[in-house]
Amino acid sequence: MGIIQRQSIKYSVVNYAGALIGMVNVLFIAPLALDEYGLIQILVATATLSLPFASLGSHTLPVRFFPKFRNQENGHSGFLGFLLLASSLAFIVFVFAVFLFWSPIFQFFTQRNEDNNYLPRFLAYFIPLAFFILQINILSAYISNFHRIVWPTVVNELFLKVAVPFLTLLFIWHFLSVQWLVLLVLGAYGLIVAMLLAYLLYLGELNLKIDWPRIRKLIPEMIRYAFFSSLGSIGSLLAFQIDVIMLGGLAGLKNTGIFSLNNYITNTVDIPQRAIQKITAPIIAKAIEEQNMAEIQSTYIKTSLNLSLAGFGLLILIWFNLDNLLDILPSGETLRAGKYVILILGIGKISDLITGVNGHIIFYSKYYRTGFYLILVLGGLNILFNSYFIPRYGVNGAAIATALSLTSYNVLKTLYVYFRFRIHPFTSKTGILLLISGFVIGLAYLYPSTGNDWLDLIFRSIILGGAFAGLIFYFRISEDLNNALVGFIKKIRP
């Protein structure tokens, strides 16, 4: 797991740097322009939700089919050129479809709320944004085939985390109008596409000349996979992205902004997962192609343990320090309105972390159709959950709906992997990790407050973090973590 460990560590460092910058935005900048922040979030969420329609499934092909074309000498048969061509043609079809259904799309966003004043003016901007996000997804996935995930992360995460707050500040200081704010955010996404293409050129992998005789043989198989993956992508986005869009339609831009701000804090819990998911995708695809079940099972178990300990540790620290943090921050009262969003979504994310790479195992195997059916059903359920919970509980209702969908989906995926492959990610160490987490949670409730928010924040973090890390190390929950820590100590020891 050496390459997974190295790339995951680099990825996580970049992501946490981006998260730190993004946290400044969430806590200090975005609350000063909640409507505008909510507008940008709705445009991004709508563009992201459009991805399976805009791509017709082409964005799911880079990792799944690259092992069949991999050959440095012939430029991998120009597979990248084919992907860019196919996705562009698919997007043209999507644009025509949007114009056909523009009236109901427009009415959903503009007739539900009085505070959606920006949406009639700017809703159409999600179309070019969808094109940029489509190309970013294809290029990032293609680059991951070479076990390079750090640079795409730098431009996708770090660059955007700097660019969007900076542009928002320019708006707050009256240097930009709302229109220029939206246009420059679009420009930032377009610049990411250019930077990813430049990186492929730097790697010597910008091979655009298509070997049609070689490609043509696999087009029927790719079309079948793209069709089912489109269904799965629709379900996935409905399950895990529809909350922001439905909040915008049912509860207004301000509530969307509050939900997105608190959701951003929760997303720090699964930064390690995003690293491991990206780097293990081509590894699992290759192992399935070679029918290497030992590699699949080993990766399944290790990712579950590593992701679980990171998720439990981060969620405990965030939740039990949250009140002190909100008391300190000038935007604390705004964030407090969605405080329980963090806990509810955090619990949902734990279910995703503890079940490891079950999705990769299904979607890169011959059983991918079942996986797509499952997630499509769950996407429909999430619409029902959101329709029921948002009118009753507002931002907390959106969090409940997403957490229920995420947990249900992972239970079904884990059961399916077990019955098809006879493997699961749980060991005795999983039980020990749960006991350790329970012990540290109990310790958090016993912590006596000093009456000073800063002191409580510092001392509670040291006590809880130290207890959790110490017990994880003592019981050797993660061999990768223990080995990395021991190796680091040896390097710095004089």
Give the tokens for residue 214.
Answer: 């070689």
pLDDT tens, residue by residue, 188-211: 999 999 999 999 999 888 988 898
CA max distance for the chain: 73
Q: Could you read off the pLDDT of 45-63 as tens digits, one per residue? A: 888 888 888 888 888 889 8
Distance CA 261, CA 334 (A): 9
* HEC-encoded secondary structure of 99-111: HHCHHHHHHHHHC
pLDDT tens digits for range 134-161: 999 999 989 888 877 778 878 887 888 8
Spell out the residues 6+ positions from residue 327 whose beta carbon is closer than 8 angstroms to its own.
453
Q: What is the chain's length?
A: 494
- Is residue 355 helix, strand or coil? coil
Inter-CA distances, 369 with 43, 224, 366, 372, Å: 30, 10, 8, 5
* Residue 131 clears pLDDT 70, i.e. is over it: yes
pTM reported for the whole predicted model = 0.71
Q: Does the pLDDT value for residue 120 go beyond 60?
A: yes
201 or 489: which carries more pLDDT confidence? 201
The pLDDT assigned to 315 comes to 94
Q: CA–CA separation, 318 vs 378, rounded Å? A: 29
User: Average pLDDT, whole number, for the chain?
Assistant: 84
CA dist., res. 440 & res. 65, Å (int): 44
Q: What is the pLDDT of residue 313?
A: 94
- pLDDT above 50: residue 166: yes
